[in-house]
Structure formats: structure tokens, C-alpha cells
Amino acid sequence: MAAPKADFIQRQKQLNDDLEAGRFRTVYLIFGDQSYLRLQNKERLRKALLGDGDEMNLSRCSGQDVQAADVLEQAQTLPFFADRRVIFVENCGWFDKKASAESDAMAEMISGIPDTAAVVFVEEAADRRKKLFKAISKYGTVLECDTPDETTLRTWAGSLFSREGIRIEGAALALFLDRTGEDMQNIASEAEKLVCYSMQGGHAAKGTVIRREDVKKVVAPRVKDRIFEMVEAVALRDRQRALTIYADLLALQTPPQIILTLMMRQFSQLIQVQEMLGTHSDKEIASAMRLPYFVIGRRYKPALKGYTREELVDALEDCVKADRSSKSGRIDAGAAVELLLVRLAERPGGSENKGAAGRERPR
């Protein structure tokens, strides 16, 4: 189970305060699904533990071949004209669910790391049940770089523009985050593009405001968002729009097999969300589905108005059949997706509503 969002904010503040005050530990673990936060904290630790420009006392290890004994040996080597030696160990696999002799060996060695060294583990994921995880929690600092809650994410994204003297409208920010998703690295990258687009002569003019139209011009929707739009078009029996979006995805060189796989995933998610509606709040559904909170009310609920439970199950089964047919070679994957879209968009119960985007189908 992931640590609560508030726990990350508290731990991040504690880490920042400790580094600023010079309260250093001998071992750190930085992990989580946000690569942006992992990178930020990795660099923050490097500067605090070593100081700028000191590469002589820095060692880096990565990959599955790292040996625990080698890490400890480096940690026990006295630093050269400095307070400590720093060893970064990245993506070693010692925190995976599978048992690892090296992981257990490192766990036994954690207490033996001298004060003249700091070992920093950086991983995408970590199993809290591992001995190594528990040892680091006991002797060092653990920081899970999880996705912030919606409010924090919106505030942070807005700050990327405000610090450049640019204001982004609320509706524009909502669209921006809808298109970028929750990946903070992607948000920062797309924000930089949008800032550059809004600047004149290399700087923001006084009173510069980013609107929805600006976001639409600069920030392209993600492939999975286009898939969702295609599924929404199918829900409205809008065959032409569904096929147009499919053609757009092909123009972006998205393989038909990937499109089909994402369609199956989308219909499966819609079924799960529909099952929880009425008994769970939007926040509870978003947490269970690992989806941004705002997409439940903004995207999933409107899309579900076009489907009954039976239609969703049938659509998923049709996707599975099309997937099997394409993988067995009975039909080309591209043709399989196109036929599937036509069949789903022309299903009984509202064919006269084709093209009526935005209106609920007749009952």
C-alpha cells in the first residue's frame, strides 16, 4: 500500500529541514512512481552531502550486478579531503518482491556503514516487506516520491507559470493537466513549451494569460486520452468521429495492436468505475483505480451515460475477440480495430443518434 499523500509532504519537509540543518544519515532510500521527484531529491542529496563540484568522493552503482560487499567496501573507504563519501546505488533490484541474497546481505550491513559515508538507494518501486527496506527505515531515511494529491498537483503546476510572470486560467490549467496526466516530469516539460509559446522577445509581457485555446495549440493529447475520446464517440454512436480519431492515432504511428490493447483496458476501467458508482465517492473510486480524482466526474461519468452494464461487457468481449483474431493471423490488426469501431458504434439502441456529440442518446 502506498504511503498517504500527506505522509510524503511531511517526510519531504523533514528531509529538507534535516539537510539544511546538516543532520545527515548514513543511508537513504528514494523511491516512487514520480521520476521528477526522485531526480529532484537525488540531486538535493548530492549537493547537501557532497557540495557542488565534488566528484572525487562520489561513487555510482547501478543494475542487477551490484554486489553488497562492494557497496560496503566503498562506504568504508575514507573520503579524500571531505567529510564523507557518497555512494549512489540505482535500480539494483534489491527491493523487488522476489527474494534476493544480495538484498538480505545488504540489510545485514546497513548498521555497519560509518558516519564518513552515505549510501543513497534510488528505485522506481520498493517492497516494504523486504529486510533491506526495514533496515533503512531503522537506520536511515525513506522517502516515497508518490504522486501528489490533486490540489497540490494543481498548485505546483500553476507555480511553473506564475514564477515566469504568467497567469494560467483555471479552465486552461484543468485542460493542461488533463492532457499531460499526472507525470510531473511530463507536466514540467509541457509547461516549459507553453511558457515559451506565451513569451515575446524571450520574456513574458505584463499581464500575459494562458487560455484553453493556447493549451489546445501547444499541448497534444496523450494516446490514451485519444483512446478515451474514441470510446466516448462509440458511446454516442458517432461512428464517423470514432473512425476519425482512429485515423489520427494511425497518423501518429500508433500500432493498431496497441490501440486495441488500450481499448480493452479502457472498457475494463469503465466497468469497474460503473460498479463502484453509487456506493463509493469519486475520491474513493479514483484511489481504488489509481486515477486522477478529477477525471472521474469530468470524463468517466459522462462517458458512462452512453453505456449500459451489458453494453460495456459486450464491448469488452468484442475487443477480446478482435485481439485474438488479430494475434492468430485470421485478420489484420488494423482491419480488426476498424470493424470493431463500426460494430460498436452501430449497436442497437440509438443508431439514429450517430453524430450527436454531446447529447444523451434516446431512451
The CATH number given to whatever domain includes residue 167 is: 1.10.8.60
**C-alpha cell read off for 241:** 468521429
Of 120, 144, 168, the domain-final residue: 144
Kindly state the DSSP code that residue 256 receives in the 8-state scheme.
H
Task: Tell me: pLDDT of 286 over 70.
Answer: yes
**Among the listed residues 50, 32, 35, the one whose alpha carbon sits nearest the alpha carbon of residue 143:** 32
Asked, for residue 240, whether it belongs to a domain, the answer is: yes
pLDDT tens for 93-104 read: 899 877 688 999
Residues 95 and 177 placed together within one structural domain of the fold: no
Of 218, 242, 265, the domain-final residue: 218
Task: Tell me: pLDDT of 119 over 60.
Answer: yes
Give residue for cell 543494475: 63
**C-alpha cell read off for 264:** 480493452
Strands 85-90 and 117-123 turn out to be: parallel
Asked, for residue 361, whether it belongs to a domain, the answer is: no
Kindly state the DSSP code that residue 184 receives in the 8-state scheme.
H
Residues 301 and 323 placed together within one structural domain of the fold: yes
53: left (phi over 0), alpha (psi -120 to 50) or beta: left
Task: Tell me: pLDDT of 306 over 50.
Answer: yes
Task: Tell me: pLDDT of 290 over 90.
Answer: no
pLDDT number for residue 357: 35
Asked, for residue 363, whether it belongs to a domain, the answer is: no
Average pLDDT over residues 182-194: 92
Task: Tell me: pLDDT of 351 over 50.
Answer: no
pLDDT number for residue 218: 93
CATH number, position 252: 1.20.272.10
pLDDT number for residue 264: 92
Distances (CA, A) of 155 to 174, 177, 239: 11, 11, 39
pLDDT number for residue 160: 95
Asked, for residue 227, whether it belongs to a domain, the answer is: yes
Average pLDDT over residues 153-171: 93
Average pLDDT, the chain: 87
pLDDT tens for 244-281 read: 999 988 987 889 999 999 899 999 999 999 999 989 98
Asked, for residue 163, whether it belongs to a domain, the answer is: yes
Residues 201 and 324 placed together within one structural domain of the fold: no
Coil, helix or strand for 211?
Answer: coil
pLDDT tens for 35-91 read: 999 999 999 999 999 987 678 999 999 988 899 999 999 999 999 989 999 999 999
Burial level of 95, CB count in 10 A (0-12/13-18/19+)? buried
Residues 37 and 112 placed together within one structural domain of the fold: yes
The percent of residues above 90 in pLDDT, for the chain, comes to 60
Residues 133 and 10 placed together within one structural domain of the fold: yes
Residues 12 and 80 placed together within one structural domain of the fold: yes
Give residue for cell 451489458: 310
Task: Tell me: pLDDT of 10 over 80.
Answer: yes
Coil, helix or strand for 241?
Answer: helix
Distances (CA, A) of 251 to 223, 224, 245, 263: 12, 15, 10, 18
Residue 48 and residue 140 in contact, taking contact as beta carbons nearer than 8 Å: no
**C-alpha cell read off for 74:** 566503498
Average pLDDT over residues 13-40: 94
pLDDT number for residue 359: 36
**Among the listed residues 27, 35, 32, the one whose alpha carbon sits nearest the alpha carbon of residue 68:** 27
pLDDT number for residue 133: 96
pLDDT number for residue 1: 38
Reported as a pLDDT band with limits 50, 70 and 90, residue 232 is confident
The percent of residues above 70 in pLDDT, for the chain, comes to 91
Asked, for residue 362, whether it belongs to a domain, the answer is: no
Reported as a pLDDT band with limits 50, 70 and 90, residue 207 is confident
Residues 59 and 118 placed together within one structural domain of the fold: yes
Give residue for cell 494543481: 154
Average pLDDT over residues 229-255: 88
Residues 209 and 297 placed together within one structural domain of the fold: no
The domain in which residue 347 lies consists of 223-353
Residue 294 and residue 157 in contact, taking contact as beta carbons nearer than 8 Å: no
pLDDT number for residue 78: 93
Of 87, 116, 144, the domain-final residue: 144
Strand-by-strand arrangement of the 141-144 sheet: 58-62, 85-90, 117-123, 27-31, 141-144
Average pLDDT over residues 159-172: 93
**C-alpha cell read off for 275:** 460498479
Distances (CA, A) of 186 to 35, 36, 275: 10, 9, 31
Torsion sign across C-alpha atoms 184, 187, 193, 199: negative
pLDDT number for residue 6: 53
CATH number, position 64: 3.40.50.300
Structural domains counted in the chain: 3
Give residue for cell 541474497: 101
Asked, for residue 136, whether it belongs to a domain, the answer is: yes
pLDDT number for residue 5: 55
